[in-house]
Structure 1
Amino acid sequence: MGCRLIKKASNGSLLWGVIVETEAYSQEEPACHGFKKRTSANETLFGLPGRLYVYLTYGSHYCVNIVTEKANWANGVLLRAISIPGENERIASGPGLLAKKFGLNKTHDNLPISVENNIWLAEKTASISMQKIIETTRVGISKAKQLKWRWYLQSSRSVSKREKGDRVPPKELSWYPTHLDGL
């Protein structure tokens, strides 16, 4: 949460945004793709940490996860929303929109996140640590719904789904990334 996802285009330009919403998944709980068994479809989730796990959902939208924890244990963090400076605040608010905006699809599955691979993470900005992060239940799952394994930056208008009762902040009070520093 709060880190910047950066993708370098073939023309050298950088597309970047701040991760403002995530969900976690682990082999020990039934909503995880690796809960029942290891298959060719979920193999990446059991791989080395720091790789992209990209899969197609509902037959039309890609979801992008970052593999975490350790090899041979299915763990990942789903990137749910990113706030991109200079873009519509909702352009990447949801896993499918995020993947589409960053041009990520099944060809990126199992790709190590690194500058050499033209997609990487940068440290979070100092202003993120001063923001309130909401911890709540995950979205769009039917199993292990009670686990509070979703987090979002409350002051961001780019969050895909807010906790009941949490209103979208007015634009003047919303947090929004303005520059890419510290690279």
Structure 2
Amino acid sequence: MNAREAVPLPPRFFARPAEVVAPELLGCLLLKRQPDGALLAGVIVETEAYCQSEPACHGHRRRSPSNDTLFGEPGRFYVYLTYGVNHCVNVVTGRRDWANGVLLRAVALPGEPERAAAGPGLLARRFGLDRGHDGLLAAPASGLWLAPRPPELVAEAGEAGVVQTQRIGVSQGQELPWRWYLRASRSVSRRARGDRTPRLDGLAAVLASTVGTFDGSRAP
């Protein structure tokens, strides 16, 4: 298959509430242009939504220099450091002056160990993302962006293939069912109770035949 252009998701995609954007990001691509020009690409398999109106959101209490990006333009990356150890990568959603964003919890990468980016901290580490990437516009010009689901992944990310459950790793707002993941993936950070990890990764073959064919060099 010939390489395909990794066209970015349009700004209007992000200009909606986080709980709407989060499940629609499943199956989409996270892409980063490496210093040597190579393109690192993975499929988003788990997301969480956060909103200023609920206590688990960083912007719930106040706006500050550390969370200012979360109140800004939709379609920018908000990267923060948690517990002084792990970075977490979010994309800002909604509208300006209202804290709203989607945490990218897990990504599956073709040809790599299935748990290489199975969690927010692992994801940030594998893609080499830290506070220096905070505020970047999700666009090829910044070297870090998000692209639509490849056609081969549309069915996998459909309603039947998605699990919706409560968020994890938060001490407040746990009752909100604002976490989503692809059932067929073994790269999910933690599965819902009663949902067994599949013996074989249902996305592996699709990843091998699609993600590796994307070429970011022609993206606008």
Same-fold status (TM-score > 0.5):
yes
CA deviation digits over 1:54-99, x for unaligned, max 9? 0000110000000001111100000000000010000000000000
Q: TM-score, normalised by structure 2?
A: 0.80
- Mapped partners of 1:64, 1:182: distance in 2: 22
Residue 122 (structure 1) shift: 1.1
Of Structure 1 and Structure 2, which has the larger fraction of its residues in helix? 2
SS of the equivalent of 2:47 reads strand
State the match for 1:100 in structure 2: 125
Tell me whether 1:48 sits opposite 2:77 in the alignment.
Answer: no
Pick from 167, 174, 178: which aligns with 2:202? 174
- Mapped partners of 1:150, 1:127: distance in 2: 23
AA of the residue aligned to 2:179? R
Q: CA RMSD in A?
A: 1.1
Pick from 87, 91, 110: which aligns with 1:62? 87
- Mapped partners of 1:145, 1:154: distance in 2: 21
- Mapped partners of 1:137, 1:65: distance in 2: 18
Identity %: 52
Are residues 112 and 42 of structure 1, via their aligned partners in 2, closer, same or farther at CA, if it must alter by over 3 Å? same
CA deviation digits over 1:2-27, x for unaligned, max 9? 10001011111111100000000000
- Mapped partners of 1:109, 1:146: distance in 2: 29
SS of the equivalent of 2:125 reads helix
State the match for 1:128 in structure 2: 153
Pick from 122, 136, 144: which aligns with 2:173? 144
Q: Which runs of 5+ in 2 are unaligned?
A: 1-25, 216-220
State the match for 1:91 in structure 2: 116
AA of the residue aligned to 1:116? A
State the match for 1:153 in structure 2: 182
Residue 174 (structure 1) shift: 2.2
- Mapped partners of 2:66, 2:35: distance in 1: 28
- Mapped partners of 1:162, 1:128: distance in 2: 20
SS of the equivalent of 1:85 reads coil
AA of the residue aligned to 1:104? L
- Mapped partners of 1:128, 1:77: distance in 2: 20
AA of the residue aligned to 2:145? W
- Mapped partners of 2:73, 2:79: distance in 1: 14
Residue 127 (structure 1) shift: 3.2
- Mapped partners of 2:181, 2:82: distance in 1: 22
Q: TM-score, normalised by structure 1?
A: 0.96
Residue 182 (structure 1) shift: 6.0
Pick from 47, 51, 75: which aligns with 2:100? 75
